[in-house]
Structure 1
Amino acid sequence: MDRRNVLKNISLGAGALAVGGLTTSLTTPNTDLKMSPLKLKGNINHSACRWCYSGIELEELAEKSADIGLKGLDLLTPNEWAIAIKYGLECSLGTDKFANIIHGFNEPKNHKELQEKYTGLIDKAADAGVKQVIVFSGNRHGMDDAVGLENCAVGLEALVKQGEKRGVTLVMELLNSKVNHKDYMCDTSPWGVQLVEKIGSENFGLLYDIYHMQIMEGDVISTIRKYNKYYSHYHTGGVPGRNEINDSQELNYPAIMKAIVATGFKGYVAQEFIPTYDDKIAALREGITICDV
């Protein structure tokens, strides 16, 4: 379940970190944080990415996520959606095994196969009540960004129209091309915004991954304020390292979440950090606590 085998050899930190007035060890979170019930404010629709918890059975992850107060789980495949629903969760962002970061919609030779497979995924999503599915630009492979943008628009056009009819939004993820996804094309907000404007549909938007965009362009809060209408979904992650989003890393997540809330965003914010704590559910609880503003 390692997401495209790009994040490996995670180092376990040492020492203690102050988070929201509680002190937590990197391997043994404070019992109060781990066991106390969360009283969520309701301003953020919380979710979590399934792939970050590959060592936990989905049934257990869904049950414990619901107990924490999450409303959804991200990046579930169609055969997994029913498990989320069983525990009162949505699949907040659907995917399937064919979704490919490297070989995406910027390459015309991929269009036929991707269109056939996404047509089926969109129909499955609509039938199951899944409102969003993820798509990728693909890597540049020497292609000019303007050409790739035009190719993406052509390849996605019919699928977006299908999404309009079925009530499903296609969401292209912004990923960094410096550290984790070398050569990926949709690696800055301006490029993604141009694509959204060219397609011109409420059923196509961007996944603003805070971790990735901090690496690529920084200025996170100003960017969210400027481009928020183009963002359909958010992901978190600590920079550097993509681990816990507490004081061990450089981003001020409470301030970022307040900025997202201020835009009137009603979609999902999904935790997409790789836990280093022995208790991965405690790490998730901590992340939700930090982001619940």
Structure 2
Amino acid sequence: MTKPVDNGRRDSFKKLIVGGAAFGSLSSFDMKEEPKALKGNITHGVCHWCFRDYSLEDFCVEVKKIGIKGVDLIGTKGWDTLKKHGIYSSMCNGAEISLTEGFGETKYHDQLVKNYTEMIPLVAEAGYKNLICFSGNRRGMDDETGLKNCQEGLEKILPIAEKHGVIIQMELLNSKINHKDYLCDKSAFGVELCKRLGSPNFKLLFDIYHMQIDEGDLIRNITDYHEYIGHYHTAGNPGRNELGDDQEINYPAVMRAILATGYKGYVSHEFIPKKEDKMASLAEGVAICDV
């Protein structure tokens, strides 16, 4: 006896196959095809440093084809190139000393205050609003000392940021793998700093890859702390490579959680492509996150 066809099960399986294609291998993604129009719910950015084979000029041309609207971590020398191609400087840099030398140590405050005092007006004059900063390394200090030091230094520049409408954003970085001894390595530390500063012009750059390594529980933390988050970065874990199904972060689910908070800013891709066609990797990462 022939069994009746279970249309519901068949349709569900078809949906699973189609959905899996967006989260699948790069072999299914052909950059020769015209990129599909993005849904527009997520505003995509990208970090140029991950694609150093491309000059900034060529990079702008290529990412614009994918539908990316912003490039992160560009300083004053690159802004004219971005503007030429109609691309936004979604996270400016150039005032920091380094990732390891930051606001967590008072000996760097004078230089940092000088740098940010000069840079903040330039960011505003160029029509941008996000400027990155770092806590620097812990070097034996406890959280409370680190929080007090960061607060002391940042309070000296936040009035300038508020005056010019610039948001200072401290990046959360993992201290387990990539940035040993980094101070601001947990959401709770960054959120406490935000609360102590009490300024809408200080936010956290929530790097999804880094926080997956150091704390996990991504969706809960994004949901609970979203009011303190001003920007997002992506990368696959482990490896900091492509966002496909050979890594552990469920990016579509994370993107839906971000959207549920009402977030309207940039989600910028900061993964290091390991496959030969780097632009295909980037286009696939955008497609995966385009919920």
Fold similarity call, TM over 0.5:
yes
> Could you tell me which residue of structure 2 aligns to residue 20 of structure 1?
22
Q: Distance in 2 between matches of 1:116 and 1:21?
A: 45
Tell me if the contact between 2:96 and 2:132 (Cα under 8 Å) persists in the aligned partners.
Answer: no
2:157 aligned counterpart, secondary structure: helix
Tell me if the contact between 2:26 and 2:284 (Cα under 8 Å) persists in the aligned partners.
Answer: no
1:93 aligned counterpart, secondary structure: strand
> Could you tell me which residue of structure 2 aligns to residue 36 of structure 1?
34
> Could you tell me which residue of structure 1 aligns to residue 177 of structure 2?
179
**Per-residue deviation at 1:266?**
0.7
**Structure number with bigger Rg:** 2
**Per-residue deviation at 1:196?**
0.3
Q: Distance in 2 between matches of 1:127 and 1:60?
A: 25
**Per-residue deviation at 1:35?**
2.7
- Superposed, 1:105-254 pairs within 5 Å as 105-254=103-252
1:150 aligned counterpart, secondary structure: helix
> Could you tell me which residue of structure 1 aligns to residue 289 of structure 2?
291
Amino acid paired to 1:277: K
2:103 aligned counterpart, secondary structure: coil
Superimposed CA distance per residue, residues 195-231 of structure 1 (whole angstroms, 9 cap, x where no aligned partner): 0000001000000000000000001011111111110
**How many residues are paired up?**
272
2:156 aligned counterpart, secondary structure: helix
Q: Distance in 2 between matches of 1:106 and 1:131?
A: 23
What are the ranges of 5 or more consecutive residues in structure 1 without an aligned counterpart?
Answer: 1-17
Tell me if the contact between 2:22 and 2:284 (Cα under 8 Å) persists in the aligned partners.
Answer: no
Q: Distance in 2 between matches of 1:196 and 1:97?
A: 20
Inter-CA distance 40–98: structure 2 relative to 1 (3 Å threshold): same
Inter-CA distance 244–34: structure 2 relative to 1 (3 Å threshold): farther
Amino acid paired to 1:199: L
Which of 71, 74, 77 does residue 72 from structure 2 map onto?
74
Tell me if the contact between 1:19 and 1:247 (Cα under 8 Å) persists in the aligned partners.
Answer: no
Inter-CA distance 288–198: structure 2 relative to 1 (3 Å threshold): same
Tell me if the contact between 1:19 and 1:246 (Cα under 8 Å) persists in the aligned partners.
Answer: no
Superimposed CA distance per residue, residues 163-187 of structure 1 (whole angstroms, 9 cap, x where no aligned partner): 1100100000000000000000000
Q: Distance in 1 between matches of 2:21 and 2:131?
A: 33
2:279 paired with 1:281: yes
The two structures have a TM-score, normalised by structure 2, of: 0.90
2:91 aligned counterpart, secondary structure: strand
- Identity among equivalent pairs (%): 50
**Per-residue deviation at 1:52?**
0.4
Superimposed CA distance per residue, residues 144-170 of structure 1 (whole angstroms, 9 cap, x where no aligned partner): 111111110110112111111001000
What are the ranges of 5 or more consecutive residues in structure 2 without an aligned counterpart?
Answer: 1-19
4+ aligned runs moved over 3 Å, structure 1: none
CA-atom RMSD in angstroms: 1.4
**Per-residue deviation at 1:278?**
1.0
Q: Distance in 2 between matches of 1:40 and 1:173?
A: 27
Q: Distance in 2 between matches of 1:181 and 1:22?
A: 30
Q: Distance in 2 between matches of 1:34 and 1:213?
A: 34
2:35 aligned counterpart, secondary structure: coil
Tell me if the contact between 1:71 and 1:89 (Cα under 8 Å) persists in the aligned partners.
Answer: yes
Tell me if the contact between 1:211 and 1:239 (Cα under 8 Å) persists in the aligned partners.
Answer: yes
Superimposed CA distance per residue, residues 26-73 of structure 1 (whole angstroms, 9 cap, x where no aligned partner): xxx642x55322211111110001110111110011111112111100
Q: Distance in 1 between matches of 2:179 and 2:24?
A: 35
Which of 98, 102, 105 does residue 104 from structure 1 map onto?
102
